[in-house]
C-alpha cells in the first residue's frame, strides 16, 4: 500500500488512517449493535478521543516538516491511474487535529444535552459518521476521494439537521440544506472533470503542489501554457465557477447561504460542530487545497463576494431575536472574512481565522445550548407558551448562570476581536492585509477593506446586543409573570468541562506569545511562503487601534441602548430595519421567483416528456403496430395466398395426372397410340 516511505513516515500514515477510521468504526458498531443506552455515547466519545490522540501524533510529525504522501493505484481510467492515498502537509495536519479537538467537547457536552432524547443512540451514530466524513476529506490525496467525502459530509449533515424528523420545520431545513449543497456539488464535479481533462490526473499533490502542474502553468494569449497542455481560458473560468459554487454552498457564501440559518433546526450541539470545524469549514479548506488554480481576477471575485457576504450577514444579525439564528448569521459573516482573506492573498490569515473561529464559535453555540435548555425547563415547569430561543424572553441570566455568563463573555470578546483573544489576532490580520491589497489594486478596491472594517463594528454591536439581552437587566418573563418558578443552573461537569476547554482555546496564549501581533502566531507563520518578507506600514498601527477603540464605543452604545431600564431603543420600523429583519428578502425572492421558476420549468419538462417525447414514442409505437398489421395481412393473403395458390394448382394437376397412372399396360398402349395419333394429325394439318 505504502511505497518509498521510511518507517517513521509509514507509522505516521498509519496513525492518520486510524484517526480517520475510528469514528467510522464507532458508527458501524453503534449501527450494527443498535445500542439504545449510554454505551452508544461512550463508543463514539472514545473513538473521537482516540482520533484526537492519533491526530496529535500526526501533527507533531508533519508540522513544518516535508510532505508525507503515500498512495497506491486504486483503479484506471483509460491510461490514467487514479490513486488511493493519504496526503499529509501543514494544511491537512492542522485540519486533522482541529476536527477532533472541536468534536471531543461536543461529544462530551452531548452526553448530557441529549440524555433525555428518544434518538440518543441514533444521534451518536450520525455524529460519528459526520466526524469520519470530515476527517477523511482533509487527508485524501486525490480529487475523486475528496469528492466522495465531500458528499458524505453533506449527507451526514443532512441527517443531523433533520435529526428531529417529526418536526416539519426540521424536514424542510434539511431538504433545503441538501438541495443547496447539491448545487455546489455539481460545480465541484464540473471543476474536477475539467482539471482531469486538462492535466490527466486527479492527484492533488501533482496538481497543486509546489512543483505541480497548475502552479507551473501560466496564462498566455487566453490559454494556459504549461508542461502538460494548453487549456482555453474559458475552461479556467468554468472550473473556478464550479469551485466557487462548491465553496458558496458548503461555507454559506452569497448567494447559496440561506440554508445555514435554517439548519438551526438540529440539536444545538450539532450546530456547534457544523458551524465550527466541519461542514462550513470544508469550503474554506477547499480554497486552501486548490489555491494555486486562481488567477488575479478570480481572487478579486472571491474578495468581493466574501466582503459582501460578511457585511450582509452582519446587518441581518442586528435585528434577529432567535439566539441560534444570530449566531448562524455570525458564522456566515466570519466565513465571509475567511473568503475575503483568500481573495486578497491573505492565505495564512484566512486559515488562522478558520482555526480561531472554530473554538469561539463552538463555545458560543454550546453556551446557547445551555441557555435554551434552561429556558425550556422554565417553559415546561410553568406551562408557558414561549419560544425558548427568543432572546426577548430572556434577561438577567448572569445571576442564574454565572459560569455560563463568564464563558459567554470570553467567546463574545473573541468573536468581536478584542485584544487578549485569539479572534483579535486572526481578524486584525485579515483587515490589515485587506488594506495593503486595496492600496496595490487601486482606489476602486478600497471599498472592500472599509466595508470589512464597518462589518467588524457591526459584529461588535450585534454580539453586545445578544449578551445584554440574554444576561443583563431583569428576567423579562418574570416581569410579565411574577409568580413563575425558576430553578436553573450551569449544569454538571459534562456541560462545564467543554466550555472551560473551549474558553481557554479562545484566548491568545494558545496561538501566540504576543497578544497584539498576529505575525507572531505560529499558525500564521507556518503558512507563509519561505521567501515572505514582512511589510510593516501604517496600517499595522492604524487598523488595530481604530478597530478596537470604535469597537469598545459600539459595545458601550449597545449596552446603553439595550441594558438600561427605560432607555431609548431603535424604532422597529423603516426600510433598513425591515431589510435586516427579513434577511434582505433573499428567501422571499428565492421562493416565489427561483423555486417557482424551477418548478414551472420542471412541469414544462414533464409536460414535454409526456406530450412530445412520450407522444412521439407512442406515435412511433402506433405506426409500428399498424405497419406490423399491414405486414401480417400482406404475409397472410399475398405471400401465403400465392404459395397456397401454387400449391393448389400443382395439387390439381397432380390429381389429374394421377388418373392416368392406373398400372394397366393396355391403358399405357392406348395412351401412346393417342399421343402418336395427335402428333400425326398435327403434322398433317401444319404441313
Q: How far is CA 339 from the centre of its chain?
A: 15
Q: Residue 76 is inside which H or E element, if any? A: strand 68-77
Instruction: Name the nearest CA neighbour of 26 among 127, 112, 101.
Output: 127
DSSP 488-531: --S--HHHHHHHHHHHHHTBGGGT-S-SS-GGG-HHHHHTS-TT
Confidence check: pLDDT of 221 > 50: no
Q: Extract the C-alpha cell encoding 432.
A: 490589515
3-state secondary structure 602-627: HHHHHHHHHHHHHHHHHHHHHHHHHH
Q: Extract the C-alpha cell encoding 467.
A: 449578551
pLDDT tens for 650-678 read 888 877 767 666 666 666 677 778 788 88
Q: Extract the C-alpha cell encoding 460.
A: 461588535
Q: What share of the chain is helix, strand, coil (3-state, %, to 5)?
A: 75, 5, 20
Confidence check: pLDDT of 179 > 80: yes
Q: Which of 256-265, 457-466, 581-590, 652-661 has the lowest mean pLDDT?
A: 652-661
pLDDT tens for 610-625 read 888 888 888 888 898 9
pLDDT tens for 14-48 read 999 999 999 999 999 988 876 667 788 999 999 99
Structural contact between residues 107 and 48, judged by C-beta atoms closer than 8 angstroms: yes
Question: Cell 431603543 appears where?
Answer: 569
131 contacts: CB under 8 Å, gap ≥ 6: 23, 48, 51, 99, 100, 103, 278
pLDDT tens for 229-244 read 556 788 889 999 999 9
Instruction: Name the nearest CA neighbour of 105 among 285, 277, 324, 352.
Output: 277
462 contacts: CB under 8 Å, gap ≥ 6: 314, 317, 318, 326, 330
Confidence check: pLDDT of 459 > 60: yes
Q: pLDDT at position 230, please?
A: 52
User: Over the range 292-302, which residues count as b (16 or more CB within 10 Å of their CB) and which as e?
Assistant: ebbeeebbbbb
Q: CA 433, CA 408: separation in Å to the nearest integer?
A: 29
Structure confidence at residue 2 as a pLDDT band (50, 70, 90): very low
Give, rounded to a whole angstrom, the gap between the first and last alpha carbons of the chain.
109
Q: Strand 231-232 relative to strand 218-220: parallel, antiparallel, unpaired?
A: unpaired
DSSP structural state of residue 421: B
Structural contact between residues 107 and 44, judged by C-beta atoms closer than 8 angstroms: yes
Confidence check: pLDDT of 535 > 70: no
Q: Extract the C-alpha cell encoding 202.
A: 486527479
Q: CA 294, CA 240: separation in Å to the nearest integer?
A: 7
Task: Say what percent of the chain tops pLDDT 70.
Answer: 93
Q: CA 474, CA 470: separation in Å to the nearest integer?
A: 10
Average pLDDT, the chain: 87
**β-pair partners for 83:** 73
Structure confidence at residue 4 as a pLDDT band (50, 70, 90): low
Instruction: Name the nearest CA neighbour of 280 among 186, 205, 192, 353.
Output: 353
Q: CA 231, CA 589: separation in Å to the nearest integer?
A: 37
Q: Is the dihedral of CA 291, 295, 298, 303 positive or negative?
A: positive
Q: CA 87, CA 97: separation in Å to the nearest integer?
A: 14
Q: CA 147, CA 186: separation in Å to the nearest integer?
A: 10
547 contacts: CB under 8 Å, gap ≥ 6: 417, 428, 431, 453, 456, 457
DSSP structural state of residue 74: E
pLDDT tens for 402-423 read 999 999 999 999 999 999 999 9
Q: CA 602, CA 599: separation in Å to the nearest integer?
A: 5
Query: What mean pLDDT comes out for the span 146-159?
Result: 93
Residue 157, CA distances (Å) to 43, 275, 538, 607 in order:
20, 11, 44, 34
Instruction: Give alpha helix (H) positions in 527-595.
Output: 539-562, 575-581, 586-589
pLDDT tens for 568-593 read 566 777 888 889 898 999 988 888 88
Q: Which of 356-365, 476-485, 590-599, 611-620 has the highest mean pLDDT?
A: 356-365
Confidence check: pLDDT of 184 > 90: yes
User: Over the range 374-410, which residues count as b (16 or more CB within 10 Å of their CB) and which as e?
Assistant: bbeebbeeeeeebebbbbebbbbbbebbebbbebbeb
Structural contact between residues 288 and 349, judged by C-beta atoms closer than 8 angstroms: no
Q: CA 33, CA 43: separation in Å to the nearest integer?
A: 11
pLDDT tens for 90-127 read 999 999 999 999 999 999 999 999 888 888 889 999 99
Structure confidence at residue 685 as a pLDDT band (50, 70, 90): confident
Confidence check: pLDDT of 227 > 50: no
**β-pair partners for 219:** 224
Q: Extract the C-alpha cell encoding 524.
A: 500564521
Question: For the sheet containing 223-225, what is the strand order?
Answer: 218-220, 223-225, 231-232
Q: pLDDT at position 136, please?
A: 95
Q: pLDDT at position 404, please?
A: 93
Query: What mean pLDDT comes out for the span 384-411?
Result: 90
The CA-CA-CA angle for residues 192, 195, 196, to 5°, reads 85
Structure confidence at residue 264 as a pLDDT band (50, 70, 90): confident
Q: CA 604, CA 610: separation in Å to the nearest integer?
A: 10
Q: Which of 24-38, 73-87, 206-220, 240-254 has the lowest mean pLDDT?
A: 206-220
Count the Cβ atoms, other than its own, within 10 Å of residue 322: 18
Q: Residue 220 is inside which H or E element, if any? A: strand 218-220
**β-pair partners for 70:** 86
Query: What mean pLDDT comes out for the span 171-182?
Result: 91
Query: What mean pLDDT comes out for the span 361-384?
Result: 89
Amino acid at each position: 500500500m505504502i511505497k518509498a516511505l521510511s518507517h517513521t513516515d509509514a507509522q505516521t500514515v498509519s496513525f492518520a488512517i486510524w484517526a480517520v477510521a475510528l469514528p467510522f468504526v464507532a458508527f458501524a458498531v453503534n449501527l450494527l449493535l443498535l445500542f439504545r443506552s449510554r454505551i452508544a455515547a461512550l463508543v463514539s466519545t472514545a473513538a473521537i478521543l482516540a482520533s484526537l490522540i492519533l491526530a496529535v501524533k500526526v501533527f507533531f510529525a508533519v508540522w513544518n516538516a516535508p510532505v508525507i504522501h503515500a498512495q497506491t493505484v486504486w483503479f484506471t481510467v483509460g491510461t490514467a491511474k487514479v490513486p488511493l492515498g493519504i496526503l499529509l502537509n501543514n494544511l491537512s495536519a492542522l485540519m486533522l487535529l482541529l476536527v477532533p479537538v472541536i468534536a471531543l467537547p461536543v461529544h462530551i457536552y452531548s452526553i448530557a444535552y441529549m440524555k433525555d432524547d428518544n434518538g440518543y443512540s441514533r444521534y451518536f451514530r450520525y455524529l460519528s459518521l459526520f466526524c469520519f466524513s470530515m476527517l477523511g476529506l482533509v487527508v485524501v490525496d486525490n480529487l475523486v476521494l475528496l469528492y466522495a467525502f465531500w458528499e458524505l459530509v453533506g449527507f451526514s449533515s443532512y441527517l443531523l439537521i433533520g435529526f428531529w424528523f417529526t418536526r416539519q420545520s426540521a424536514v424542510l431545513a434539511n431538504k433545503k440544506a441538501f438541495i443547496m449543497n447539491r448545487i455546489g456539488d455539481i460545480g465541484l464535479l464540473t471543476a474536477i472533470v475539467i482539471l482531469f481533462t486538462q492535466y490527466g490526473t486527479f492527484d492533488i499533490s501533482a496538481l497543486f503542489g509546489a512543483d505541480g502542474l497548475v502552479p507551473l502553468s501560466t496564462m498566455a494569449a487566453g490559454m494556459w501554457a504549461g508542461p502538460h497542455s494548453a487549456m482555453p481560458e474559458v475552461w479556467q473560468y468554468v472550473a473556478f465557477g464550479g469551485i466557487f459554487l462548491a465553496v458558496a454552498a458548503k461555507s454559506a457564501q452569497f448567494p447559496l447561504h440561506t440554508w445555514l440559518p435554517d439548519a438551526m433546526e438540529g440539536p444545538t450541539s450539532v450546530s456547534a460542530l457544523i458551524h465550527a470545524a466541519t461542514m462550513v469549514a470544508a469550503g474554506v479548506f477547499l480554497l486552501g487545497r486548490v489555491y494555486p488554480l486562481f488567477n488575479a481576477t478570480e481572487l478579486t471575485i472571491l474578495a468581493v463576494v466574501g466582503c459582501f457576504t460578511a457585511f450582509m450577514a452582519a446587518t441581518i444579525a442586528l435585528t434577529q431575536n432567535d439566539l441560534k439564528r444570530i449566531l448562524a448569521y455570525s458564522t456566515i459573516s466570519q466565513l465571509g472574512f475567511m473568503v475575503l482573506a483568500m481573495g486578497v492573498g491573505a492565505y495564512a490569515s484566512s486559515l488562522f481565522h478558520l482555526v480561531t473561529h472554530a473554538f469561539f464559535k463552538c463555545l458560543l453555540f454550546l453556551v446557547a445550548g445551555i441557555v435554551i435548555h434552561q429556558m425550556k425547563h422554565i417553559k415546561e415547569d410553568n406551562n408557558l407558551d414561549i419560544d425558548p430561543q427568543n432572546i426577548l424572553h430572556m434577561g438577567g441570566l448572569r445571576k442564574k448562570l454565572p459560569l455560563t455568563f463568564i464563558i459567554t463573555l470570553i467567546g463574545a470578546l473573541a468573536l468581536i476581536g478584542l485584544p487578549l483573544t485569539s479572534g483579535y489576532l486572526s481578524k486584525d490580520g485579515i483587515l490589515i492585509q485587506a488594506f495593503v491589497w486595496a492600496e496595490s489594486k487601486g482606489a476602486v478596491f478600497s471599498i472592500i477593506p472599509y466595508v470589512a472594517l464597518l462589518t467588524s463594528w457591526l459584529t461588535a454591536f450585534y454580539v453586545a446586543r445578544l449578551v445584554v439581552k440574554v444576561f443583563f437587566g431583569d428576567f423579562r418573563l418574570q416581569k410579565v409573570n411574577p409568580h413563575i418558578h425558576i430553578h436553573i443552573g450551569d449544569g454538571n461537569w459534562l456541560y462545564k468541562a467543554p466550555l472551560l476547554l473551549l474558553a481557554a482555546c479562545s484566548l491568545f496564549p494558545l496561538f501566540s506569545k504576543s497578544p497584539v501581533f498576529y505575525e507572531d502566531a505560529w499558525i500564521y507563520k507556518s503558512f507563509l511562503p519561505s521567501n515572505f518578507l514582512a511589510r510593516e506600514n501604517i496600517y499595522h498601527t492604524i487598523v488595530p487601534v481604530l478597530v478596537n477603540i470604535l469597537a469598545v464605543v459600539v459595545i458601550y452604545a449597545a449596552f446603553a441602548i439595550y441594558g438600561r431600564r427605560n432607555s431609548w431603543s431603535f424604532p422597529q420600523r423603516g426600510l433598513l430595519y425591515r431589510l435586516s429583519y427579513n434577511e434582505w428578502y433573499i428567501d422571499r425572492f428565492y421562493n416565489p421567483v427561483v423555486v417557482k421558476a424551477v418548478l414551472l420549468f420542471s412541469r414544462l419538462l414533464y409536460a414535454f416528456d409526456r406530450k412530445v417525447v412520450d407522444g412521439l414514442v407512442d406515435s412511433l409505437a402506433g405506426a409500428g403496430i399498424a405497419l406490423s398489421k399491414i405486414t401480417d395481412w400482406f404475409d397472410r393473403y399475398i405471400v401465403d395466398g400465392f404459395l397456397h395458390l401454387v400449391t393448389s394448382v400443382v395439387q390439381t394437376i397432380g390429381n389429374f395426372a394421377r388418373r392416368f397412372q392406373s398400372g394397366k399396360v393396355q391403358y399405357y398402349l392406348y395412351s401412346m397410340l393417342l399421343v402418336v395419333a395427335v402428333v400425326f394429325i398435327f403434322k398433317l394439318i401444319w404441313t
